[in-house]
Structure 1
């Protein structure tokens, strides 16, 4: 793939992911309401919220430092960088050499740290408690994510996502049992992250900063969906030498996978109900155990091969 074509694919990917984030949030809110027997809010409500919040004047507490103002921007910047590195409809984009699993995990961790620091900055009790809960959950989710990345690296002989997804497309990501366990680990992490209440971390911000913070949360959901779809269901994804025709197929498949993921996540949330914060820690712990189990399966398989 030439430099110009790969750059164009990178731009299309990033634009689509950014546009999909509020749309996915709107569809999930509508589905949650419909499954509960209510009419539900408009699908475009997140877009309206972004416009409304961006027009409001920011109210900054007197006890706040510049950390509170910069935290949402750092959160969004790290999240956008992670979204740009994760393939959606094609491989071989301009930033593909930088699509390292450890880099993506570090960017997602940086985004979480920025949110927590912003909540702790003013010293208010409610925001401080929310940051404490988020930090406690992160002590389990972040190691689980790193173990998941190392397990994939062992299976794919490298940390590069394009390399791992390419092997998965060819059926070379072995052993299959470890891949299935790794998928279960990632699903547990996604559900724990999606069920974590983030509103308490936004009590001290308003205006454009609140819009930026909410958009980062919505974009984070799309990142998880792209990870699952690319790593474990790369059906229709264009290869590194793909052209416009393969891109069209990849875009259609990506949209279908996005819709199925939103439907499944909303259905699971409706069936299980609101997960208590104390149960989220248990779910993150299960994800860490599953990731460790996947690594053990890979090592045992390599030893007996």
Structure 2
């Protein structure tokens, strides 16, 4: 019975994040336009774009290896796997034993590497330049994310994301927790500044739809990850319908808060050039290092 319940929770979670990723992208673009004083695009425009692109006939390209054709699917698969492990409305889903925060970070890195390698393999100037810029931004960002993960594991006593959330009940009020939160927010802003993934400048058909979906899903991973650590209200493993309803309400509140925060950061920072995004990732790395040092110092003093 417990196994069936965890599978049901996992399937429901997967359906929710797949449906919410394009909707969150549309809401974010609409809010960004409203903050800038414009009317903004329709909320369902991402869904319409997916339908339109999926109906296009795939173009056979002479340049590039077969890996270029499957790179969007590989990036989407890795991102979807990471999203499936980050809880939305409940804990203890079927993938709970695999929900190691290092595994989640590694899957996001695999998705980024797949995009970069395929863009370099395309043999075109613009995708190659975008891949170079993405690689340069990924160096400080991935290092900072690993240090943040280390700090969170020290605070939670485990690398398992569910256990960190359960034992921490959200980030505590200690200085190290707030510094780690600032590092995560800086990393999310730096990742969101990458508006045009490398492959988007080379694909025009179903592959572009898959690549865009992967980017929207990656943004949702950041929102769910930060939201679950900061405000885990309703995240409880229970079969009671009332607890599920509270979990849905809590997840909706975290999703709205995350979209508002990202839209506010976009309005505040504007369109960041690649150099500024790397600097923001570097600042996140310094914050992550400070958080880890604060945790280690506090542990030693205790």
Change (3 A) 1:303 1:98: same
Partner SS state of residue 235, structure 1:
coil
Partner residue, 2:146: 146
Q: What is the CA-CA distance between 1:236 and the residue it aligns to? A: 2.3
Q: CA deviation at 1:244?
A: 2.1
The equivalent of 2:94 in structure 1 is 94
For residue 277 of structure 2, the aligned residue among 248, 267, 280 is 280
Give how far 1:61 is off.
Answer: 2.5
Query: After superposition, where does 1:49-60 map in structure 2 within 5 Å?
Result: 49-60=49-60
Work out the CA distance in 2 between the residues paired with 1:218 and 1:135. 19
Q: 2:201 aligns with which of 183, 200, 203?
A: 203
CA positional deviation for 1:79: 0.4
In the TM superposition, residue 14 of structure 1 has moved relative to its aligned partner by: 0.8
| Contact 1:144-1:288 at 8 Å conserved across structures | yes
Q: Which residue pairs with 1:260 in the alignment? A: 257
Range moving further from structure 2, 14-23 or 192-201: 192-201
Residue in 1 that maps onto 2:179: 181
Deviation readout 1:194-250 (Å, 9 max, x if unpaired): 01132553222121100000000001111000001111111222x234532111101
Please say which of residues 181-190 and 59-68 is displaced more in the overlay. 59-68
Higher mean C-alpha displacement, 58-67 vs 19-28? 58-67
CA distance in 1, matches of 2:44, 2:141: 31
Secondary structure, counterpart of 2:211 in structure 1: helix
Give the conservation status (yes or no) of the 8 Å contact 1:100–1:161.
Answer: yes
Q: State TM-score, norm by structure 2.
A: 0.97
Q: 2: distance between equivalents of 1:243 and 1:148?
A: 34
- Per mean C-alpha deviation after superposition, the further-off stretch among 241-250 and 257-266 is 241-250
> Match of 1:65, SS?
coil
- 1:60 touches 1:204 (CA, 8 Å); kept in 2? no
Normalised to the residue count of structure 1, the TM-score between the two structures is 0.96
SS at match of 1:155: helix
Aligned-residue Cα RMSD (Å) equals: 1.4
Give CA-to-partner distance per residue, 1:79-136, whole Å, 9 cap, x none. 0000000111111111111100110000000000011011111211111111000000
Maintained 8 Å contact 2:85/2:95? yes
1:302 partnered with 2:295: no
Distance 1:30 1:175 in 2: 33
> How far did residue 299 of structure 1 move?
0.8
In structure 2, list runs of 5 or more residues that go unmatched. Answer: none
Tell me the CA shift for residue 146 of structure 1. 0.8
Deviations 1:257-305 (A, max 9, x none): 1012111211221122111211111100111111111110111011111
Question: Residues 165-176 of structure 1 correspond to what in structure 2 (within 5 A)?
Answer: 165-169=165-169, 176=174
Question: What count of residue pairs does the alignment treat as equivalent?
Answer: 302
Answer yes or no: is the 8 Å Cα contact 2:186–2:281 preserved in 1. yes
Q: Does 1:43 align with 2:39?
A: no
Residue 242 (structure 2) pairs with residue 245 (structure 1): yes
Alpha-carbon shift at residue 175 of structure 1 (Å): 7.3
Change (3 A) 1:143 1:112: same
